[in-house]
Chain A
Amino acid sequence: MDQPINRRSFIKTAAAMGAATVVGGGMIDDLLAGTIDSTPAAGMADIAVVTGADYFASTIKAVELVGGIKRFVSKGSRVAILPNAVCKYPGTNVKPEIVLAVVKMCNDAGAREVCSLKETAEGYWRRAAEDKMLSTHLDTLKFSSQKFVTVPIPRGKKLKTADIVKDLLEYDLYITIAITKPNAGLGFTGGLKNLMGASAYEPTNRFCHFGSGSKGWYDDPSHLSQCIADLNLIRKPDLCLTDATEFITTNGPFGPGKIASPHKVVAGVDVVAVDSYCSAFLGLTGPEIEMIKQAYNHGLGKMAIDTLKISEVTI
């Protein structure tokens, strides 16, 4: 991390960088194809769901069930991770243990560096920093310098260009680390929505919320849903982790709200499938959530859970 950044400087940086650097569409096509074969080998799950009180261990087990970290990370590779950890209250952020388990696995597999694309809420790492084992992994985590580039989205239906963190395009692998929770406008927050954390508020996120002429952030959820699906055309995650250990079920995305505690960590390579699966934690289904439906329509993944091989394990 170069220096602490707040939303104001974040916006200024985005605005300043927005038109400065433009990435060609060919590079996006390469990223959209993904670096990982999403077809699971024999015995490998499409989605792994691990239940347990030790979230660090659950994360490692979940990744093992979808092929193990070496399926994704090779020696010397550079890994970008995107944890959803910008809120403050219980059940609104990915557990630090889950993020740090990913960091550990990447390091063990020989990654040259692991970089978080997004800043985290104040105090987020406090407990991890006090834990000897977790702090070891935290010390190796780099933070993005938050430089943004403008990328075209030729297949985007509403969002035709986006300003996103340059590191999202430059790292060899992209791992999304989302949390299941409700969103007042979209109904659900997961891996697809998480990518907004790597895009600039100005102009991209502002367009997603207000681009259709709406006055409020969620006045036009259809427009926002389509924009999020379009945004996900930029780069498919190579690995998706979703925290369903403890999360709010009301007053999302910020909370405070009622907490559900299924103690589950979910992993997969198909962000649409993982989101569709996780929406059930809130009593929803993938097709009920327009953002998931539009991502499916873009061919970004599978929405029908009953067609997937799901491996559920308790540790």
Chain B
Amino acid sequence: MAILSPVVVDAVAPERATDLRRYFPQAGEVGAWKPSDTAGIFAGDDLYLLIDGGADIYHEYGFRQVAARDYADGQGRSITAELYEMTDPAAAYGMYSFKTNDEGKPIRAGHDARLSEYYLNFWKGRFLATLIGFDSSTVTIAGLLALAKALDDKIIDTGSRPALAGLVRLNGYPAPRIIYLMGNLALDNFYKFGPQNVFGPAEGVLGKFNDFDLLLFKYGSPEEGRKRWQEALGKLRQNPDFSNKAVGDPKSGAGFSMTDPKGRFYLLEIIGDCVVIFIGIDRTKAASIQKELRDRLAPDR
């Protein structure tokens, strides 16, 4: 009855392909947990064979291939391990941040790792590992942690978070939940600015604070930033979903302000090569953060 049979494919050019199967622990390496199938590998567009409609977001971040393998403990419990090879560490980190939404319990594995109720994610170098248990029993959680350690030990890649991800950390505020964005699909899952891609192709970061969100899009140069800013303002002005649109907020000095259908207040500003958007923030609080961001993003202006 199954339609999701793994298919071994070699869509990655042989000289660039990494054999992901070598990273998976073998029987005896993680206690009672033993592989219960052979690793299926899905490369390029064939990712949809594994995760159907969930594939697009991986492609947006930069997907190369994934291997998936099931483990069983002999007592009826099972874990599926998915190891994604992304195009570079930024893509792996971005997908990690999108999938975890910076939620779950931080644990030690890879560069960053989070354990949620029945699954675990970590990223390391250009790799993202997702381990899924089918229950949240102590035995399964221990299995997830053991498998994560075994995978982590075998991956020797390194990488660092994109610099942009650090720009939404603010003095005097607790560290926000950070989602690194590399396209409109990821953004749309948090904020919809219109039917089109309003802010154009841009690297972005969303910082989720306790009582407001901070969005930042970075362009190739201040000139490109200004061009995209003007285009975005044009589209936002025409979007009937937003109201109370005003150029030049008198209190904060921001370039544009508006209110969304849920009544959330938006302040938008261009600073250097970045478009900065505050969502749901008090105007007075925004003014002090704007100064910090202006000093950080365009110190010479």
Contact = CB atoms under 8 A, between A and B. Distances in A.
B119 A250 contact: no
Interface in A57-94: 86-90
A135 interface: no
Given A5-B3, A10-B3, A216 B54 contact: no
A125 B80 CA distance: 18
A185 B3 contact: no
In which size bucket is the chain A interface?
Answer: 35 or more
A258 B117 contact: yes
Interface in B178-225: 184-185, 188-189, 195
In which size bucket is the chain B interface?
Answer: 20 to 34
B140 to A, nearest CB: 11
A90 B1 contact: no
Contacts of B119: 89, 256
A123 B134 CA distance: 12
Contacts of B4: 6-7, 86, 88, 121-122
B53 A8 contact: no
Contact of A218 (B56, B99, B117, B118): B56
A161 interface: no
A219 B59 CA distance: 11
B132 A256 contact: yes
B51 A216 contact: no
Q: Which of A88, A123, A143, A288 lies at the interface centre, i.e. has the most chain B CB atoms within 10 A of its CB?
A: A88
B57 interface: yes
A222 interface: yes
Q: Which of B53, B57, B132 lies at the interface centre, i.e. has the most chain A CB atoms within 10 A of its CB?
A: B53
Nearest to A285: B261
A259 B117 contact: yes
B195 A222 contact: yes
Interface string B272-286: 000000000000000
Contacts of A123: 2
B52 interface: yes
A86 B5 contact: no
Contacts of B1: 1, 4, 119-120, 122, 124-125, 143
B134 A90 contact: yes
B254 to A, nearest CB: 26
B55 interface: yes
B130 interface: yes
Interface in A248-295: 250-256, 258-259, 288
Contacts of B101: 250
Contact of B48 (A5, A182, A217, A259): A217
A216 B3 contact: no
Contacts, number: 103
B116 interface: yes
Nearest to B121: A256
A252 B52 CA distance: 11
B7 interface: yes
A221 B2 contact: no
B195 to A, nearest CB: 5
A86 B3 contact: yes
B119 to A, nearest CB: 4
Contact of A122 (B2, B48, B57, B195): B2
Contact of B54 (A4, A8, A184): A184
Interface in A1-57: 1, 4-8, 10
Given A4-B2, A90-B134, A216-B59, A254 B116 contact: no
B49 interface: yes
Q: Which of A10, A125, A218 lies at the interface centre, i.e. has the most chain B CB atoms within 10 A of its CB?
A: A218
Interface in A228-262: 250-256, 258-259
Contact of A258 (B60, B116, B184): B116
Contacts of B195: 221-222
A7 B4 CA distance: 7
A5 B4 CA distance: 9
B7 A8 contact: yes
A259 B130 CA distance: 16
A311 interface: no
A183 interface: yes
Nearest to A250: B101
Interface in B39-70: 48-49, 51-57, 59-60
Contacts of A124: 1
A30 B132 CA distance: 45
B5 to A, nearest CB: 5
B157 interface: no
Contact of A253 (B7, B53, B99, B116): B53
A88 B185 contact: no
A119 B2 contact: yes
A193 B162 CA distance: 36
Contacts of A259: 117-118
Nearest to B197: A219
10 contacts: A4-B1, A7-B3, A119-B2, A122-B1, A185-B185, A185-B188, A219-B56, A219-B185, A256-B118, A256-B132
Counting from the closest, the 6 A-B pairs by CB-CB distance are A254-B54, A122-B2, A217-B56, A256-B119, A254-B51, A119-B3
Given A90-B134, A120-B2, A219-B184, 20 more contacts: A6-B4, A86-B52, A121-B4, A122-B3, A122-B4, A123-B2, A124-B1, A182-B189, A183-B53, A184-B56, A184-B57, A217-B53, A218-B188, A219-B56, A219-B185, A221-B188, A254-B51, A254-B54, A256-B118, A256-B119
